[in-house]
Homo-oligomer: A and B are copies of this chain.
Amino acid sequence: MGALRLHSLTSIFAASSSSAGISYRSVRSPPIFRCHHRLRLPPRRLTTASFSAQSTAEKDAPKQTEDPKSRVQDRVITPRSQDFNAWYLDVIANAELADYGPVRGTMVIRPYGYAIWEAIQDYLNVKFKETGHSNMYFPQFIPYSFIEKEASHVEGFSPELALVTIGGGKELEEKLVVRPTSETIVNHMFTQWIHSYRDLPLMVNQWANVTRWEMRTKPFVRTLEFLWQEGHTAHATPEEAEKEALQMIAVYSKFAYEETAIPVIAGRKSKSETFAGASKTYTIEAMMGDRKALQAGTSHNLGQNFSRAFGTQVVIVPIWKKDDEKTGVLNAASSVREVLKTAGIKVKIDDTDQRTPGWKFNFWEMKGVPLRIEIGPRDVSSGSVVISRRDVPGKQGKVFGISMEASSLVAYVKEKLDEIQASLLGRATSFRDSNIVDVNSYDELKAAIGEGKWARGPWAASDKDELRVKEETGATIRCFPFEQPEGRNKTCLMTGNPAEEVAIFAKSY
Contacts and interface: CB of A to CB of B under 8 A. Distances in A.
Contacts of A394: none
Contact of A169 (B137, B158, B169): B158
Interface in A146-186: 146, 158-169, 175-176, 178, 185
Chief secondary structure at chain A's binding surface? mixed
A115 interface: yes
A163 B178 CA distance: 11
Given A102-B188, A135-B111, A215-B168, A140 B354 contact: no
A143 to B, nearest CB: 6
A245 B391 CA distance: 43
B139 A108 contact: yes
Interface string A121-146: 00000000000001111111111001
A346 to B, nearest CB: 13
Contacts of A110: 136
A224 interface: yes
A114 interface: yes
Contact of A143 (B103, B137, B163): B103
A198 interface: yes
B198 A103 contact: no
Given A103-B176, A185-B101, A192-B69, A168 B137 contact: no
A342 interface: no
Q: How many copies does the complex hold?
A: 2
Nearest to A158: B169
A166 B160 contact: no
Interface residues of A, number: 60
B189 A138 contact: no
A310 to B, nearest CB: 14
A4 B114 CA distance: 32
A489 interface: no
Contacts of A176: 103, 162
B167 A164 contact: no
A118 interface: yes
A494 to B, nearest CB: 37
Contact of A118 (B115, B135, B162): B135
A159 B163 contact: no
Nearest to A134: B111
A201 to B, nearest CB: 14
A476 B77 CA distance: 57
A225 B101 contact: no
Nearest to A352: B198
A162 B169 contact: no
A373 interface: no
A302 interface: no
Contacts of A134: 111, 114-115
Contacts of A69: 192
A99 interface: yes
Given A114-B136, A142-B103, A168 B178 contact: no
6 contacts: A108-B139, A110-B136, A139-B224, A140-B225, A167-B213, A168-B214
The 5 closest A-B pairs by CB, nearest first: A168-B213, A111-B134, A106-B139, A101-B139, A109-B137
